Amino acid sequence: MAEPPGVAPGDADLSNAGLFERACAVLPGGVNSPVRAFGAVGGTPYFVAGGQGAHVWDVEGNRYIDYVQSYGPGILGHAPAAVINAVAAAAAQGTSFGAPTEAEVRLANEMCARVRGLEMLRLVSSGTEAAMSAVRLARGATGRNKIVKFAGCYHGHSDSLLAAGGSGVANQGLSGCDGVTPGAVADTVVAPYNVVPDIDADTAAVLVEPVAANMGLVAPAPGFLEGLRAACDRAGALLVFDEVITGFRLARGGATEFYGVRPDLWCFGKVIGGGLPVGAFGGSRALMGHLAPLGGVYQAGTLSGNPLATAAGLATLEALDGSAYEHLEATAVTLAAGLEEAFGAARVDAVVPRVGSLLGLFFGSETPRNFDEANASVASGLYAPFFQAMLRRGVALAPGPYEAIFVSLAHSASDIDATVAAATEAAAELA
């Protein structure tokens, strides 16, 4: 197949299997993030040579319609000209300074202008950093220790937040993590998603994905987010929305605009970096005033506010106007309907939940409402053969059943048609 634009032809002897063998000699499991090893779906991972728009090419020249999109940052598709040009211009001036730059101020201003109630933020280098720092800030601001999270929600790999995590933790069949001491999670309470827990006067914060996108895709039940807001208000605890995935994807103002519920603190990532490593956490001026150098809660980062990441993030957000969100949702609606029709024609029990432009896929007749129900779907074992059947037909889904399906502005009607055609054949194979 033709090479993607801007990617030179690879070594003729280069293969996915050969690269994976070489990788396993120098990288644990051959990867730098566990789900990429294909342990949940079997087979050998494909190594990406490059991408353009809705597609990626592997080192063997195979082209895939890509619904991974770097697990969310690729909301414009791969290598969008506006982002590439912005990063190139920024890189020409230097890649990191350890000093403030105008771009980080502009990105912060743009984010605060979009999200109602977000008055100040701190840029970091990952979603994990954002969530970890938000917890520290919540504890420092309230003087309390306990935090509440929900089973199946993933807030990065910091010790206190790995308990009953979704995403990569669940894909590895783990309920926690070796090396995390009992003391590290002693103040972490895990509750079932979509049930408002009892929140007492010792609770500093309640962390939640407003749409759970790390156990497949599980939408908040009516009244769940509103109930969390009311319960936190009664207990004097802080409500933290982890919008690393939903932020600036569901709507211009993220989940706060989409659902009309305002947390005390937000965590962001993915979209705000346009594909480069970035994260952010923020809230009101009063809360953020507890953060050093204004207050006693310390947080720092050598690459925080990196000029390449902020340039990419600004270019991405500038492309996300109202019409962009309408287009994204329309694409997701068409894809969800097509997938459901494909499974229905094959008489395979499957559901395709959708929230905005986010999609999920569960095998079974009922849409899961929590982590236990999502696990029951995964236990069917049907995701792995469906994944492989789709990959053989040139469609790349996430190599694990606990991830979301990400559409981008680059996915065309023909891409969706081809995906549905592939799913029709793949579902027939399952049947």
Q: pLDDT of 283-313, one tens digit each?
A: 999 999 999 999 999 999 999 999 999 999 9
CA 173 → CA 54, 181, 411, distances in Å?
30, 19, 32
Burial of 5 (C-beta count, 10 Å sphere; 0-12/13-18/19+) = exposed
Reduced to 3 states, what is the DSSP secondary structure of residue 339? Answer: helix
* Rounded Cα gap, residues 404 and 218, in angstroms: 10
* pLDDT band at residue 13 using 50, 70 and 90 as cut-offs: low
Q: What is the pTM of this model?
A: 0.93
* Rounded Cα gap, residues 338 and 48, in angstroms: 27
* Rounded Cα gap, residues 335 and 346, in angstroms: 17
* Rounded Cα gap, residues 344 and 176, in angstroms: 36
CA 49 → CA 8, 52, 55, distances in Å?
9, 11, 11
Residue from 30, 33, 76, 72 nearest 52 by CA: 76
Catalytic residue numbers read: 154, 242, 270
Q: Report whether 274 contacts 286 (CB < 8 A).
A: no
pLDDT given for residue 172 in this prediction: 45
The 10s digit of each residue's pLDDT in 162-176 is 765 555 554 444 456
Please report the DSSP string for 24-42 in residue order. Answer: HHHSGGGSSSGGGG-TTT-
pLDDT at 11 over 70: no
Q: Report whether 38 contacts 45 (CB < 8 A).
A: yes
DSSP 8-state class, residue 223: T
pLDDT given for residue 162 in this prediction: 73
**Residue 14 or 266, more confident:** 266
pLDDT given for residue 174 in this prediction: 44
Q: What share of the chain is helix, strand, coil (3-state, %, to 5)?
A: 40, 15, 45
User: What value does the mean pLDDT of the chain take?
Assistant: 93
* Rounded Cα gap, residues 408 and 314, in angstroms: 17
* pLDDT band at residue 40 using 50, 70 and 90 as cut-offs: very high
Helices and strands per DSSP (H, E), number in the chain: 13, 16
* Rounded Cα gap, residues 328 and 356, in angstroms: 8
The 10s digit of each residue's pLDDT in 367-406 is 999 999 999 999 999 999 999 999 999 999 999 999 999 9
pLDDT given for residue 169 in this prediction: 53
